[in-house]
Amino acid sequence: MMAVWACEKGGTAVERLDKRLASTGKWSRKEARELIRAGRAAVDGVPCRAPEAKVGEDAAVTVDGAPVGSGGPVYLMLNKPAGVVSSTDEPGERTVLDLLGEEYRGLGLFPAGRLDKDAEGLVLLTNDGPLAHRLLAPRSHVDKVYYIEVDGALDEGDVEAVRRGVTLGDGYECLPGELEPLSPGSAHITLHEGKYHQVKRMMAARGKPVTYLKRVRFGPLTLDQDLPRGGWRPLNEEERKGIFSH
């Protein structure tokens, strides 16, 4: 009852919570009722399990913590598993969007930057084109940090080569980066640019091919260690501030 009261305190014009969710076009009325009963909806921050609860037009409705019907931009952190492609639609492939809940369908989300199919880790999913464009523009030099494992033993020569800028097989001279070995066969590598297969090509040029690659940082965003492979969550306020002030 408490929750219904909370739903009603909002505003003047009111409508049922299930109707409000269904009006976004993301769920049928039946699906909306089910997800409300499952405890996934909240109104003004108060969980609401009553599909018939009356919701004021100004009330902030969320599903799984994500705002509903606001039409505003969405920012999600995803821990991409291997085997999933960083695109929105690729026939025969499982895409990063396939990992999301149905409430995020139809919002125009896309990955800001790509990770190879066999790579894991941090991907920012958003529908904010200008922000993604800014983060990905070469002149923005957004740092990316990867944890890598290689075939071979990393040494001072590799550290120095990355510091000076590795020349790839096709002659491209990479910008200087940082390689911090963690063990003979593993390291963190920081890049300030984002060329196709760059880490793999750099390490191949050093004769130490990458066997495992995971992005752990993208600009101001650090991969949330609590996100399981395939897990995702909305960016928190601090993270949102971070990507905007970059």
The site for ligand URA (CB under 6 A) is made up of 115-116, 119, 197-200, 213
Nearest to 109 by CA among 121, 98, 117: 98
Asked about 116 being catalytic, the answer comes back as yes
Q: How many residues does the chain have?
A: 246
Which residue in 76, 89, 5 sits closest to 43, CA to CA? 5
Least distance (Å) from ligand URA to the CB of residue 167? 16
Our CB check for ligand URA shows the closer of 56 and 177 to be 177
Nearer to ligand URA, 69 or 113 (CB): 113
- Are the C-beta atoms of 217 and 178 separated by less than 8 Å? no
Distance between CA atoms of 223 and 100, rounded to whole angstroms? 17
Compare residues 32 and 223 and give the one whose CB is closer to ligand URA.
Answer: 223
Strand order in the sheet with 66-67: 46-47, 41-43, 61-63, 66-67
Q: Which is nearer to ligand URA, 21 or 223 (CB)?
A: 223
> Given the complex with ligand URA, which of 74 and 148 has the nearer CB atom?
148
Which stretch of DSSP H or E encloses residue 156?
helix 156-164
Supply the minimum distance, in Å, between the C-beta of residue 152 and ligand URA: 16
- Shortest Cβ distance from residue 82 to ligand URA (Å)? 10
**What is the smallest separation between the CB atom of 146 and ligand URA, expressed in angstroms?**
6
Which residues sit opposite 66 in a β-bridge?
Answer: 63
- DSSP assignment string, 163-178: HH-PBPTTS-BPPP-E
Percentage helix, strand, coil, to 5, in the chain? 25, 30, 45
Which of 116, 118, 170, 226 is flagged as catalytic? 116
**What's the min distance (Å) between Cβ of 155 and ligand URA?**
21
User: What are the E-state strand segments in 192-242?
Assistant: 210-218, 221-222, 232-234
Among all residues, which ones are annotated catalytic?
116
